[in-house]
Amino acid sequence: MPRSADEPVRLTRIYTRGGDAGETSLGDGSRVSKLDRRIAAYGGTDELNAHLGAVLAGDCPAALRAPLERIQNELFDVGADLSVPWGIEGRLRVEQSMIDELERLCDRFNEPLPELKSFVLPGGTEASARLHVARTVCRRAERETLLAAGEHDVNPLVLVYLNRLSDLLFIMARAANALAGAGEPLWKPGASR
């Protein structure tokens, strides 16, 4: 039976044994080592997605919920982009409009926040702390994608998307504390001496 448009994949069996020898398939069907930098790049976006799921499973402020759910779906789009060699036409790709939306969200959530006068320490509410973890994982996914781009042709907008997303996650971590009325932990240089 053919798949419908709202059914992008059909998994009838989870294990395939295809990766038992340390190889996996890219989105175009070509086989590569699981150590290929592209695999690390989209593995990083998958890990980030799992961290966002943990944020959403907890006490996430309502104002952040819908944007984070949309971003979770977009991270699968990012992974799909990274899994298909750049230059193959007709495949799902990160587009400028996705980055524009991240920038709009940055502006929206940053506008009511007080101006920063020190570096922010991860913490405050659980949602904020988890968003900071997601931010650091996003930065790692960005570095992994940059390494992949050094060896393979990669959609340059993927790097821009991940860079902007890490900015947004920082802002959302601050917003999570503000929305909960929680204080923001700030770095006090040398305070422990």
- What confidence score (pLDDT) does residue 117 get? 86
pTM recorded for the entire structure = 0.85
Domains and CATH numbers, the chain: 24-113+123-179 (1.20.1200.10)
- What confidence score (pLDDT) does residue 126 get? 96
As a whole number, mean pLDDT of residues 166-191 equals: 94
Distance (Å, whole) CA 173 – CA 179? 10
38 - beta bridge partners?
none
* pLDDT of 146 higher than 70: yes
As a whole number, mean pLDDT of residues 108-113 equals: 97
Q: Are 46 and 137 in contact (CB under 8 A)?
A: no
pLDDT category, 142, cuts 50, 70, 90?
very high
* pLDDT of 9 higher than 70: no
What are the tens digits of pLDDT across the range 166-178? 999 999 999 999 9
C-beta atoms surrounding 118 within 10 Å: 11
